[in-house]
Structure 1
């Protein structure tokens, strides 16, 4: 926090489970001047928390979301309210009725092990012992997590609120927020229908009303309220006498994801939740205000029985005891969905002091609140939250139609088996590089990221794959992959290839204060001559790696001062730099991605291709590694940077978007005699892993420091002060407790995908980050986080992949061209 008192005035909007949890976490850290405003009553406020069935399944493909859920379990299990439980650890059971789901549960068991959640794979009979209502004949197997369970959201909320109140917080019901007041770009107060409340910090925890609160602060809160069906049966004879009214449940919470269903006990009844129906988006203008005269639960809409018919039939098939019952009651409950399925956390980029914690379900509520409190009080959350950061989206991803369409699709896919590379199909295409038409002519297979269409391989290169005899791989790793990618990787090593690097974020930094600004925010030495390019890191205050950058010093700016081009990882980097701009206007940061484009030209014949096109000397002596020059290639003005993320001779060639097609055509025509080819992201990923190049957000995040990640070479402790420097004092690669290491799998066809657990001496000790087949080295490789004590070279480990233990060996890196001879020639 900047320029705030030690005890800031905090106003939280919303007393649902998230607002209550945040008030508890903040006051526990000493921020006790907390006011929670609620438009409805306390504590059954009428929002999503009030009707949430409370199922807490911890395991998620996201490490962050699993950590949030696990903290929620630990916290709520220790809470009571007037002697009543807030969390019942009855366990969670997910069952498979198809071979595909059974394989997915094996993969999910691996995810649980990676993230430290204990679970067990069960056969049908074991599933039926745990949940006797199951028809074992319908089930192929299951995944049991004993620590999962049921949360009483309203009860847990009140229990946390009481603790906050004891520390000084106040909760005010029936206060409808009517405005967010500000001055000088900072929030100053919250206006309500009952008066104003001064505030240094405002946190919107308003749930599906969040977009309305956000608009008052000039902020787009990209979520969509969607109705989700929940029903209860009449008494189930088989449950008679099993559960008391106080305890409610004794059997595991149950998921039947093959039919988009889940189940929990309500005494002698069964509650059934369904995602099997059509998306039911809700217009907030149609939701009654939770005030006098309005329904007590405006978030509970009338039950649409026709949408539940198939769900009821499928439920009776899985749980035959339900055939003796009927649906006694049901409702369509409103929940929040986002375009990518993650919560929205963070501070508004336009209004300092206005924060959001929205689209958070009960499952993750305490974990999100803890991270938010750490963020506010300490300046940085201790859990990596880049997947959840409010500012992660590109502007095109904030279009109302985009948010609506993707959020509805996330509802449809909530229980689907989603491959790590699987893109959403609509709305596409959104963003295309200037080379898109040429790529389509070459049969590009596109996947999508941040709205960009990105070629992963080209059908035009199919003939190369037949000659190269690329090895196959398993069914899961074969999805969104082609042996053509292997041929493209080998051809890059042997010839010269063109890679579309346009989707990578590019920022322009200018102004007289730009050097001092960048020097303070990054770890490496940037005070070098014009034409220098530097690989460097962004750190937070704890020394965690927020991002890695390539920074090119290009010369005079448009006005006074200098001009720099920063190769970044995404919108969060733009947000970070913008937040740290000096107030005197001496530095400007501009996103130039859309107006520019880039071709990575790499391979041993790269110089042979480019030199005849220009009068500029591209020799190694005149144009060294990590240098930049302005030049013309034919008729195209380019900024050429001698960088290589694939470990081969070559350049990143930048030009303006209008000249993009001409740049492609110029290089393509000149390269015909050199057997030039276009290559895609799949080959790129294999090549960069052979060289040991890290990918931020996958191989490392803000949870890791540079020395753990093997990036200590990008830190210059002697250059002067920089953000995060104090936290790194005394740390070296020899003193860290964990390391990112390279693994070689024994079986070359055993290609894993990432996030699999790594076992040392039979015990899960870490997890895979990135993985690929190394076509140049003829082996399957992976990178993984492991304890330093277990991360020595030649150490034998195993990777769990769909329930199978794959032997592997820790090896020295990089695996390819360790002396960098191919790049520096």
Structure 2
């Protein structure tokens, strides 16, 4: 135990990963009957439960389902994985589960390409959403103590921040928009709904003038991704949406079509240009229809979470529950910008981060680009693969995806520095990462990989367009 916390990640055993929605006798009876045989089965990647489905759905569920959406489930919420074109065999595609190249590869490629060249819509309504308001400064003061970044920002600004424990590890990774001087809008991962609520209630003062409200069900969230997203919203809002008028990480309420009060945020969770639209649920279908109608001239299409996964991993975006957990600190994953140690108020985890900043980190999140991996013939990396540095075990991957831009598999994972004599962990520096030769072990076969501490997509794309260099040239830089 460190600071009273487990020495291993125990999220999979935490009861707060469940909610009241999973407590019905019918749900439990059917889910338990499905779970028990799986203890002796080999689950393929991206495997989904078959029971307890269609429990929580977006208002757009039927509309998206009719357009070929294939579904995954998260915290009881149905989320689109990808959209099957009309001429594909839906049944055959749904049954094609494998450790090798999946049949949805080309479908996701077309969605990713559309996100990069035109505009796509991803229904992300499942994200947890809280509002924190007060009559005075109670909301700001409470959030400043619970979160690591500085939330005393001008109205309309969005802050990426961590909700840390005393160890400095992530209890939650989220985005918070300041709606006005006394009101904040918080967006968190889907499976954080119960855990985050409990954590905030634990550390926020019991004050009748301070209100914490779960508004997850009140808003449909549409992620409008791509360079033409600005054109679509400009037509629908009759307001300038260019960076000069609507800078990055900014939030404002505006009209979209006939609907008022749409919270539009200049962020996408993928690194691509675009906007998040938080739409009051009664306007969801209207706003979606308007976006799709106006977007036709710009090549708009639906996309799913598999495309989002590919985009965010190639941009080196770490996600909570996959790459980040209660034992991961911001200093270990390049999240220094989400911490303000000198913001003028103490916050949970600050002392641990100050100590870690002084002593150094004992693991570091890195991006690995596979060199000699054959996408068509070799087993794919999914997550949990061993990482070898100079032939020695150095950690394991936390998530991976095929990058359609790099035309290579990209893995994220933590690198450790184990002593050859005692096996104890030692400080990991940027120089230690950069000087190593790496391999990723996939089912007993090691593939060479290049380790990077910063995203490389923008550089690669520029070089590719300019002089059509080979990927091997890029890897040497």
Same-fold status (TM-score > 0.5): yes
Question: In structure 2, the residue corresponding to 1:783 is in which secondary structure?
Answer: strand
Report the equivalent of 2:319.
Answer: 695
Tell me the residue number matched to 2:106: 483
Check the 8 A contact 1:504/1:593 in 2, yes or no: yes
Of residues 127, 143, 162 in structure 2, which corresponds to 1:537?
162
Counterpart of 1:619 in structure 2 is: 242
What CA distance in whole angstroms lies between the structure 2 residues aligned with 1:670 and 1:647? Answer: 24
> What is aligned with 2:425?
none
- Residues 758 and 798, structure 1, Cα contact 8 Å, conserved in 2: yes
What's the counterpart of residue 517 of structure 1?
142
Tell me: CA distance 1:426–1:547, structure 2 relative to 1, closer, same or farther (3 Å).
Answer: same
SS of corresponding position for 2:434? coil
Task: Report if aligned partners of 1:597, 1:654 keep a CA contact under 8 Å in 2.
Answer: yes
Residue of structure 1 in register with 2:455 after alignment = 814
Q: 1:591 to 1:726 in 2, by over 3 A?
A: same
* Among candidates 442, 445, 453, match of residue 801 of structure 1: 442
Aligned to 1:391: 16
Describe the superposition over 1:755-809 as per-residue Cα deviations: whole angstroms up to 9, x where unpaired.
0111123232200011011001211110111122685236321111112112212
Alignment partner, residue 214 of structure 2: 591
TM-score calculated relative to the size of structure 1? 0.50
Counterpart in the other structure of 2:303? 679
Give the C-alpha shift of residue 675 in structure 1: 0.6
**Contact 1:595–1:657 under 8 Å retained in 2:** yes
Q: 1:761 aligns with which of 390, 398, 406?
A: 390
Query: Alignment partner for residue 579 of structure 1, among 196, 199, 202?
Result: 202
Q: Is the 8 A contact 2:333 2:365 kept in 1?
A: yes
Partners of 1:808 and 1:665 in 2: CA distance: 44
Match of 1:645 in 2: 269
Specify whether residues 613 and 406 from structure 1 end up closer, same or farther in structure 2 by C-alpha distance, changes over 3 A only.
same
SS in 2 for 1:553: strand
CA–CA distance in structure 1, aligned partners of residues 245 and 100 of structure 2: 43
State the match for 2:228 in structure 1: 605
Of the candidates 158, 174, 185, which is equivalent to residue 565 of structure 1? 185
**Whole-angstrom CA distance in 1 between matches of 2:164 and 2:7:** 13
Contact residue 177 and residue 186 of structure 2 kept, 8 A:
yes
SS in 2 for 1:423: coil
- Does the CA contact (< 8 Å) of 2:161 and 2:176 recur in 1? yes
Q: Distance in 2 between matches of 1:773 and 1:794?
A: 25
Measure, in 2, the Cα distance between the counterparts of 1:439 and 1:425: 19
Deviation at 1:730, TM superposition (A): 3.7
Structure 2 counterpart SS, 1:722? coil
1:660 equivalent in alignment to 2:284: yes
Give the 3-state SS of the residue equivalent to 1:736 in structure 2: coil
Change in CA separation of 1:549 and 1:532 when aligned onto 2, cut-off 3 Å:
same
SS of the counterpart of 2:451? strand
Across the two proteins, how many residue pairs are aligned to each other?
A: 432
Is it true that 1:554 corresponds to 2:179 in the alignment?
Answer: yes
Match of 2:467 in 1: none
Whether the 8 Å CA contact 1:741–1:783 is kept in 2: the answer is: yes
Aligned partners of 1:686 and 1:461: how far apart in 2? 23
Unaligned residue ranges in structure 1 (runs of 5+): 1-373, 464-472, 557-561
- Larger Cα-atom Rg: 1
Measured after TM superposition, the shift of residue 408 of structure 1 is 2.1
Report the 3-state secondary structure (helix = DSSP H, G, I; strand = E; otherwise coil) of the residue aligned with 2:409. strand
Tell me the distance in 1 between the aligned counterparts of 2:275 and 2:125.
14
Specify which structure has the bigger relative contact order, considering alpha-carbon pairs within 8 angstroms and separated by 6 or more residues. Answer: 2
Q: For 1:498, what is the secondary structure of its paired residue?
A: strand
**TM-score when normalising by structure 2:** 0.86
SS of equivalent residue, structure 2 residue 12: coil
3-state SS of 1:731 partner: helix
**Matches of 2:292 and 2:202 in 1, distance apart?**
41
Q: 2:359 and 2:264 mapped to 1: Cα distance?
A: 37
Partner of 1:792: 433
Distance 1:813 1:695, change over 3 A: same
Verify the 8 A CA contact 2:415 2:433 in the aligned structure 1: no
Q: 1:493 aligns with which of 112, 116, 121?
A: 116
Whether the aligned pair in 2 keeps the contact of 1:429 and 1:451 (CA below 8 Å) is yes
Q: How far off its partner does 1:382 sit? A: 2.7
Matched with 2:41 is: 416
Cα distance, 1:657 vs structure 2: 1.3
Q: Contact 2:366 / 2:412 at 8 angstroms: preserved in 1?
A: yes
Report the Cα offset of residue 699 of structure 1. Answer: 0.6
The reply to whether residue 770 of structure 1 matches residue 399 of structure 2 is yes
For the residues of structure 2 that align with 1:492 and 1:550, how far apart are their CA atoms? Answer: 22
1:525 CA displacement: 0.9
Q: Can you give the 5+ residue segments of structure 2 that lack an aligned partner in the other structure? A: 89-95, 417-427, 463-477
